[in-house]
Structure 1
Amino acid sequence: MPLTFNNALDVDVEATVENTPVSEVHAHAKKMSVDFSLTECTLVRRERPGLLMVDFDAGGTTDPRNWARWYKRWVSGLSVIMISLAMSSSGALIPFSAALDSQYGIGVFVNELFVAQFTMSFCVGPLILAPLSEKYGRKPVLLVSWIAFTLLYIGAAVSTAATSVVACHIVAGLFISAPMTISPAVIADVWGFPSREEAMAIYALAIVAPPIGAASGGILLKLGVNQHSVFWIYTIIGALMTVLVAFTMRETYRPLILLKHARRLREETGDDRFKAPLEVPQIDLGLGARCLCNMLARPIRLFIHEPLLAIVSAYLAIIQMCSSIFVQGCTSAFGASTGIVSTLGASSATLIIGGIAVMFSYIFVVHRRFSVRHAEAFAPERVPPEVRLVLSKWAAPVFAVTFFWFGWTLFNTFSSVVPLVSGVVMGGAIFLLVFPVLNYIVEVYEGITASAMASVVVSMNLFPALFPLFSTRMFLVLTPHWALTVAGCIALLVTPFPTLLIRYGSMMRARSGYASRAHA
């Protein structure tokens, strides 16, 4: 028969289940001749009077952080692949501007708007999809997003009207933006510090390399592929990702897993005191997770009420803005002589080569000496999040210098290799700037990573979405030399930011609503 509690037995069972693995509760229930078939990898503890809070048992395989290492690497790798595909899809059609204009007669400016609107979708989608992943889970949102993206790109591939193509392309951007915020959340779900940093390093490289989309599109154009074939290629990719997410990815959102366990405990025991943190407003994430409307408003509320998140998002937006100016600077400086496709490939390649070189250096050399050492030094306490920002402090001035290096070596007296080498240095500097800061956000807002990352992603994509609308005119008026000098001055102004965040970050966390509770 189901387990029931009366006043006399209540005290006895509370004493047994408090801070005790369910396996022991199960054994105790058997002695009382009751049916108590529960998962053995759940810990039940009493955090509030009258409630029995469900948590993960140490070593239990229900906890995503205790999954097999090979599977965690697969889930992390799949997440990084998804973000790379999302970023590449945003720029793959840029080299096909002339073909789109020729077929649909949409004009140069409308064509630029066509590309910009897809990126603008990246500023809207995360605000909706990120909080939904914290209510319904990571897997369902990713699965629906890839299915919708695939169907919409089929529509774009078979459409003959410009309005249909534009509509399908833009709405697809809303759905494909899901991995941009959910992927780091998945990585945070399955990895703890310091193992998480290796996966986050690859994610950071993927999110700061949007020119790869234009470069891949340029390669397809040179191979004779038309714009409709680009839609079909991404349709096939979307279908493949749908299958992989559906059949190889398990749910990773830890609070939702606990919620399902709490419901099962209540069903099997008949005791309504079993609760998951998401079900208790006072122990909830502090932002109304139980109400769908409040859930959808979470990223905006975080951005407004969390000054730490707002400031960090603004800083990353400036870094992304300056990077966009660099890529356009390559196009303006070399496009006339080498061709737009070759220029996009060269600018992308220099950034990516520098980023990859520094990423591997960090994973195989710096990480083991830096992060692991700090984890051991602060054990058993958590490493302060500000420790992760030390590398950014040294990368910030290098990032600023590369703009002056590139801008003022474009003259005929220098080989074209000299300014392009600055792109390699910049790629490494961007990685060392963005990766520690993204890791900082994930650490500070660990319980609501997807919503916090939504604010960051929106900020980072806002300028790149609008930049194509005026970039050509900007470089015509200022010339590449002075446009890059302006970008360098902006980068120079924000150079002290990592140092200031290291010094005053703990103070800002103490004044931030959720951040202070997460690291109290």
Structure 2
Amino acid sequence: MPERTTAPISPGNPDDDWDSTTDVEDHHPSTALPSGSDSGEQTDETEDHHRQIRHEKQTKHSGLPDTKRDYKLVEFAEGDPENPMNWSKAYKWWCTMVVAVTCFAVAFCSSVITADVGSVAKEFDVSYEAALVPITVFVVGFGVGPMIFAPLSEVYGRQIIYASTLLVAVIFVIPCAVSQNIGTLIVCRLIDGIAFSAPMTLVGGTLADLWRNEERGVPMAAFSAAPFIGPAIGPLVGGFIADGAGWRWLYWIQLIISFVVWVLITFTVPETYAPTILARRAKKLRKSTGDPDHVTEADLDPRPFSERMRVFLIRPFQLLFREIIVLLISLYMSVLYGLLYMFFVAYPIVFEKRKQWSKSMAGLMFIPIAVGVVLAAFCAPWVNGHYLKMVKKHNGKPPAEVRLIPMMLSCWFIPIGLFIFAWTSYKDLIWVGPCLAGLPVGFGFIFLYNAANNYLVDSYQHQAASALAAKTFIRSFWGAATVLFTEQMYDRLNDQWASTLLAFISLACCAIPFLFWQYGARIRAKSKYAFGGDEDPALDSDVEKGRKPPHHDMEDLRRAMSYVSNP
């Protein structure tokens, strides 16, 4: 290993040694960027900012007045073997597949129990609606968990969050499998939902840690289908398990699968989050050299974690109720998420209750949804290629509305599939119609979801994590609620008109991407929170008024990477 040197930071002239440390005094520091960020995205700090940092750090640690102090910034050098982006391609693909399989397993666990709700109601002597509550609270946990685990991962890294939360999830599957009352099932499923949400929250960020922008298309395409295939495969496998072994084995299979992925991700995937890796390097350097001035970019942020956590919890709701873009996109994604979970109730109604099929046969009807998702994943590189052309056309700075193009093209697939499902689901008609209706629905889901996430990230770059957190929160609660009233809706409106109502709702939502295509730029121009360009001041939330700390441009984008792929 080359000997470490200390040199002033010079943008575009990084050190060549692996321990790359730089003197932050009187120079612009190169931000310790998250993996997946280009060097051109680095944040520049002003000289006054540096004086403020020196003052605050000295006051905090030594109580001394404002005196001159040099910090040695620890960052990755070019070709650094500890940088996850420089790992071998084979190992990066291994890590990618492990986190993708983990994501699939979590999505599978969310839906597999929908295959046999009736047996739970019968054994515990509760209503069918009460037996649906374990499904509902699991989805609620999916909305609550990211609000906790995303900021925690910034402090402790991704690996420890993966390992600890999956272990909790594995443990609390066991009481579900042996439960003797509905209360135990509900409480443990809620805990599982919160714990299982962590991998779904962090997996997108892990891929951004591993792959550079120009390399990320195929890995993201391979991964992006996992959160949507899982819910489709769950009822399929669950139907055969329920018919052959009973409803409790729907939980034992979750235990087996979740334990396997816990072992894989805990013992074969190391830490990939750049700030955490650099923090460990800085700590090691301070210990080996006795020099306390080895720091990372995160160390130079004087804000306490409690303040950052408070902002992270409050800002999503500010955006949700003050930003029409966030509100309408969140409502649209909530409708889609609700439709996905409605299918878990509607399919058993149509195929089991009306057509008198077995659970295993009814589960086969979810295959076209999975096929549609896979087809959409294969189209993802084409969509990415088109976006890169638009980037070039706009000299590297395309408007956020370019992200709406896939959304405007694919939004029609959802209502088309629902109309087909509605009017071919008669008891005496052949099964082909309602079965194949899932194909366009699955195809549209993934296109719409990815496009919506990208539009929010591009529109609210400095506030992107908060915008996506708002969407995740409202979407999860709506998805949880729809499970509880779907059966009553189908009983009162009949199968055809209940599905038609859903089709018209999704058809009305098709106006949203066209609305923002026409007026989105004007809305963002008047917005207090929307990103306005490289020099955008990105006004802080009300929580921060009166004491505005230094803002790191990439901080919210680091968080946002964790949400982009969260289904």
TM-score normalised by L of structure 2: 0.74
Q: Is structure 2 residue 177 aligned with structure 1 residue 157?
A: yes
1:39 corresponding residue in structure 2: none
2:308 corresponding residue in structure 1: 294
The 5 Å alignment of 1:5-20 reads 15=8, 20=13
Aligned-partner Cα distance in 1 for 2:416–2:19: 64
Query: Per-residue displacement from partner, 1:138-193 (whole Å, max 9, x unpaired)?
Result: 11111001111111122333444544343323212221121221112212222333
Query: Per-residue displacement from partner, 1:315-364 (whole Å, max 9, x unpaired)?
Result: 2112222344455444433332143625652442121112212322444x
Contact 2:316–2:469 (8 Å) recurs in 1: no
- Larger CA deviation: 116-125 vs 291-300: 291-300
Secondary structure in 1 aligned to 2:220? Answer: helix
2:422 corresponding residue in structure 1: 407
Contact 1:194–1:371 (8 Å) recurs in 2: no
1:458 corresponding residue in structure 2: 473
2:351 corresponding residue in structure 1: 334
Secondary structure in 1 aligned to 2:355? Answer: helix
Query: Per-residue displacement from partner, 1:64-122 (whole Å, max 9, x unpaired)?
Result: 23332222222222222122211111222223323323433233232122322222222
Query: Per-residue displacement from partner, 1:265-319 (whole Å, max 9, x unpaired)?
Result: 555666666543323348xxxxx6x414632651542342373544433221122
Contact 2:419–2:503 (8 Å) recurs in 1: yes
Residue 216 of structure 1: which of 212, 215, 237 is its match? 237
Q: Is structure 2 residue 313 aligned with structure 1 residue 320?
A: no
Aligned-partner Cα distance in 2 for 1:46–1:323: 44
Distance 1:349 1:421, change over 3 A: same
Q: Is structure 2 residue 135 aligned with structure 1 residue 110?
A: no
Contact 2:413–2:443 (8 Å) recurs in 1: no
Aligned-partner Cα distance in 2 for 1:505–1:276: 38
Aligned-pair CA distance for 1:218: 0.9
Distance 1:375 1:65, change over 3 A: farther
Distance 1:173 1:477, change over 3 A: same
Gaps of 5+ in 1: 4-11, 30-41, 283-287
Aligned-partner Cα distance in 2 for 1:356–1:90: 19
Q: How many residues align?
A: 489
The 5 Å alignment of 1:357-372 reads 357-363=375-381, 366-367=382-383, 369-372=385-388
- Larger CA deviation: 167-176 vs 302-311: 302-311
Contact 1:326–1:484 (8 Å) recurs in 2: no
Distance 1:111 1:519, change over 3 A: farther
Secondary structure in 2 aligned to 1:339? Answer: coil
Please state which structure has a larger fraction of its residues in helix.
1
Aligned-partner Cα distance in 1 for 2:118–2:518: 50
Distance 1:483 1:160, change over 3 A: closer
Aligned-partner Cα distance in 2 for 1:200–1:481: 37
The 5 Å alignment of 1:45-444 reads 47-49=45-47, 50=50, 53-209=73-229, 210-222=231-243, 224-264=244-284, 275-281=295-301, 290-292=304-306, 294-295=308-309, 298-305=312-319, 307=323, 308-326=325-343, 328-335=345-352, 336-339=354-357, 341-342=359-360, 344-363=362-381, 366-367=382-383, 369-374=385-390, 381=396, 385-411=400-426, 415-441=430-456
Aligned-partner Cα distance in 2 for 1:470–1:343: 24
Query: Per-residue displacement from partner, 1:205-254 (whole Å, max 9, x unpaired)?
Result: 333452432222112113x2233333332222222222212211121222
Distance 1:486 1:45, change over 3 A: closer
Aligned-partner Cα distance in 2 for 1:45–1:109: 52
Distance 1:254 1:302, change over 3 A: farther
Aligned-partner Cα distance in 2 for 1:122–1:403: 26
Secondary structure in 2 aligned to 1:62? Answer: coil
Gaps of 5+ in 2: 23-34, 51-70, 537-567
Contact 1:150–1:235 (8 Å) recurs in 2: yes
Contact 1:331–1:340 (8 Å) recurs in 2: no
Contact 1:300–1:455 (8 Å) recurs in 2: no
Aligned-partner Cα distance in 2 for 1:211–1:295: 35
Aligned-partner Cα distance in 2 for 1:440–1:519: 20
Aligned-pair CA distance for 1:385: 4.8
Aligned-partner Cα distance in 2 for 1:385–1:66: 30
Report sequence identity in percent. 25
Q: Is structure 2 residue 35 aligned with structure 1 residue 21?
A: no
